Chain A
Amino acid sequence: MAPLRGGIIGLGRMGITHLSILKSHPDVRIVGICDNSKFVIRAMRATEKGSDIIICSSYEEMINKSSLDFVVIATPTKFHSEIINFAIKKNLHVFVEKPFVMYVEEGKKILGSLEGKSLVNQVGYVYRFNDIIAQVKNILTDEIIGSIKYFKVELNSNTIIRKQKLGWRGTPKFGGGCLLEFGSHCIDLAVYLVGVPTRVMGSAFQNVYSSHVEDIVFSTLVYDNNCYGNVFVNWSDSSYRRPTLNIVILGEKGKIIADSHCLKIFSSEPDEKHKLKKGWNTKYITDFAKGVRIYVRGNEFTTQLDYFINCIKNKAMENLSSFEEALKTDIIIEKIKNNRFDNVR
């Protein structure tokens, strides 16, 4: 089989990670790169001297010139829907960074335009590919802790720890702010692990250092089956060294406490399949250690892109993190925006 021809749009922190993971994939050839920074273009041209890779500032030009099979979109969120629409028109498989789109309406239109087309579509909700989260999902699917009564998903980091002029992540119209950047991860995990809430209430935005966007967001998710959940995100907490996820799930028969490295399960009865004792069970990421093809910033980053490529190769239309799945998160984000207490704007 000829290698799949791919293009990367947006070479910021995530775009360059995706480029690194895909460029080293044996079944992929990256033939186009596009970014609006002159510096990035110059640097890429210098490092790609002698190769026939197309490096330019316009995604239309890149897509038109490079006869692609797929694109990876890692631009500010504001540009996602426009680029996705263009890529779908050109019949390209699409991987887009999270969150899916800025506005739910845009997302619905995109889903409509995918109908009848066999295009793999995936959103970069990378925690779905984390080994610990996969274990949590399995334990919940097998109802080890019984029906869920309450859960909490938290993401904290030291990303913004002083007042400063910010790039697009500090600008609301580009999709900046902690809700879209961090909150989307937590909401997606709530959707993945527990399901779609019917109501959203008690939401608030708080700022610490940013003047135009929120630094802290929290919200209560209400479910039909008498389950409640909280999401809490803060990107301005200097006590953290890097983004840190924490999850607590209380069921009628037990409890799960998880971060991206460690999983603690309190089970009211032993379970052979999951190797659980009655009472507390602690499992570490080292217990599930499996290598990846290439490690760049964490197993899950490679796993999610290799999964995307496999879906294209195998013409698999079911996707663990599809546009349809990600739109659920965008709908919840919109509800949070609409009913929030707001200290910021």
Chain B
Amino acid sequence: MLDKIIFGDNQFFGINHMSEEKAQMLSEKFSNLKDIVDIIDFAYDSGIKAFMLNSNERAKEICDYFRDNSARYSDLILYPSIPYPHKFANLVAEKGIFNALKDYLLAGLNMGNFFDILLKGGMAILKNDIFKGMELLVDKEMSLFAGLKIKVIFLQNIVTDLLLGLGIKNIFIEFAEYIKKKYKVEPGFITQNLPALKGFLLECGIKNPIICASINKIGYLVNPNLQAYERTLKEHDFRPIAMSIFASGAIEPTVAIKYVCKTLKIKSVVFGASKKQHILATKKLIENYCA
């Protein structure tokens, strides 16, 4: 069963889709781990136990903190999303796809010969078998979250949507199977193309898939359009999670949540907030409107 409320992480990493200025202010506000932890603790103590965390540069320090204070976070459940695409985008721009993958897999591993040998083998695999390469990448990203309780592992949206456009069914099938087999949790997919992705995943044979998508009343990052989303959500052959419900602040909170939870009857919502009073207010609204 998916958590009703999942606390998102975009605000911690200076991500705001509406304004570069707000993004910069967020980045400054959360430049110290202490300030991130302060917000996480507040959400956790107010009863939110599920957290979505992208495998970006700062995820490691947050996860280290959770591991170092495991007694404090005994009920914590993570919904990681992998990979962090911007670090790859720059690497790919500089070095081409293969060298970017190679350098990424090799980076930061100074743990002795064992890993060297493993990775030399890994390079040969990466060269010859793209699916095994995918598994190596998943493992590398997931090493950030080692030892923490995980419910769903998501494929991040830029990657999901790129692969959706490419129409490569095998990658989705292999990803889903590998997550289930190796990590014993459910695979999930984040997208900005909910109707197309849902149909595609069902065609891939991935039954009742977990799909996290921007869903909001003004149709921001909703593709191809809101009508298609509303139609798709009535089909009940997948498990939706709504994100971007406030469209980066463009929709008034009560209106936003009423639409997502009451009109669309979505049972699981991701939201991020940088202010404590917003966490409480949003949580209360979701609990009020979410059946």
Which B residue sits closest to A287, measured CB to CB?
B250
Q: Indicate whether B231 reaches chain A with its CB closer than 8 angstroms.
A: no
Instruction: Tell me the smallest distance from the CB of B200 to a CB of chain A, in Å.
Output: 10
Write out the residue numbers on chain B whose beta carbons fall within 8 Å of the beta carbon of A40.
96-98
Say whether A289 contacts B218, CB under 8 Å: yes
Q: What residues on A are CB-neighbors of B264 within 8 Å?
A: none
Contact residue among B97, B170, B224, B250 (Cβ-Cβ distance under 8 Å from A284): B250
Does A13 make an interface contact (CB < 8 A)? Answer: yes
CB neighbours of A242 from chain B (8 A): 86, 89
Closest to A16 in B: B162
B69-125 CB contacts (< 8 Å) to partner A: 86, 89-90, 92-99
Give the distance to chain A from B235, nearest Cβ to Cβ, in Å: 19
> Chain B contact residues: over half helix, strand or loop, or mixed?
helix
Pairwise interchain contact A47-B247, C-beta atoms closer than 8 A: no
Question: Residue B165 at the A interface, CB < 8 A?
Answer: yes
Inter-chain contact A46/B166, CB cutoff 8 Å: no
Within 8 A of B (CB), among A181-197: none
Please, what's the 1-or-0 string for B257-273, where 1 marks a CB less than 8 Å from any CB in chain A? 00000000000000000
A262 interface residue per 8 A CB criterion? yes
Please, how many angstroms separate the alpha-carbon atoms of A297 and B224 in the complex?
14
Contact A289 B247 (CB under 8 A): yes
Q: Chain A 1-19 against B: per-residue CB contact (8 Å), 1 yes, 0 no?
A: 0000000000111001101
Number of A-B contacts (CB under 8 A): 138
Interface residues of B in 1-57 (CB under 8 A from A): 13-15, 17-21, 23, 27
Q: Are A289 and B219 in contact (CB under 8 A)?
A: yes
Kindly provide the distance from the CB of B132 to the nearest chain A CB, expressed in whole angstroms.
11
In the assembled complex, the Cα of A161 lies from the Cα of B18 at a distance in Å of 26
Bound-complex Cα distance A37 to B95 (A): 12
Number of interface residues of B (CB under 8 A): 53
Task: Pick the contact of B250: A42, A166, A286 (CB < 8 A).
Answer: A286
Whether the Cβ atoms of B219 and A12 lie closer than 8 Å is: no
Instruction: Say yes or no: A46 contacts B97, CB within 8 Å.
Output: no
A246-B19 Cα distance, complex, nearest whole Å = 11
Cβ A291 vs Cβ B90 within 8 A: no
Asked if A167 and B224 sit within 8 Å, CB to CB, the answer is no
Nearest-neighbour CB distance to chain A for B11, whole angstroms, equals 13
CA distance A316 to B182 in the complex (A): 53
A236 to chain B, nearest CB (A): 11
Known A241-B27, A244-B20, A286-B248: A37·B98 in contact at CB below 8 Å: yes
Q: Find out whether the CB atom of A17 lies under 8 angstroms from the CB atom of B162.
A: yes
Docked complex Cα distance between A159 and B225 (Å): 33
Q: With the chains together, A43 CA to B17 CA distance in Å?
A: 33
Partner of A293, one of B15, B27, B86, B224: B224
A291–B86 contact, CB under 8 A?
no
B221 at the interface (CB under 8 A from A): yes
Bitwise interface map of A from 272 to 292 toward B, beta carbon under 8 Å scored 1, else 0: 000000000000111101111
Instruction: Check if A295 sits within 8 Å of B250, measured CB to CB.
Output: no
B277 at the interface (CB under 8 A from A): no
Instruction: Judge whether A285 and B17 touch: CB under 8 Å.
Output: yes
Binding site for B on A (CB under 8 A): 11-13, 16-17, 19-21, 23-24, 37, 39-40, 42-43, 46-47, 49, 158-160, 164, 166-167, 169-170, 241-242, 244, 246, 259, 261-262, 284-287, 289-297
Using a CB–CB cutoff of 8 Å, the interface residues on chain B facing chain A are 13-15, 17-21, 23, 27, 86, 89-90, 92-99, 127-131, 158, 161-168, 170-171, 192-193, 196, 218-226, 228, 247-248, 250
5 new A-B contacts, CB < 8 A, other than A19-B166, A285-B220, are: A13-B93, A23-B166, A170-B94, A284-B18, A294-B223
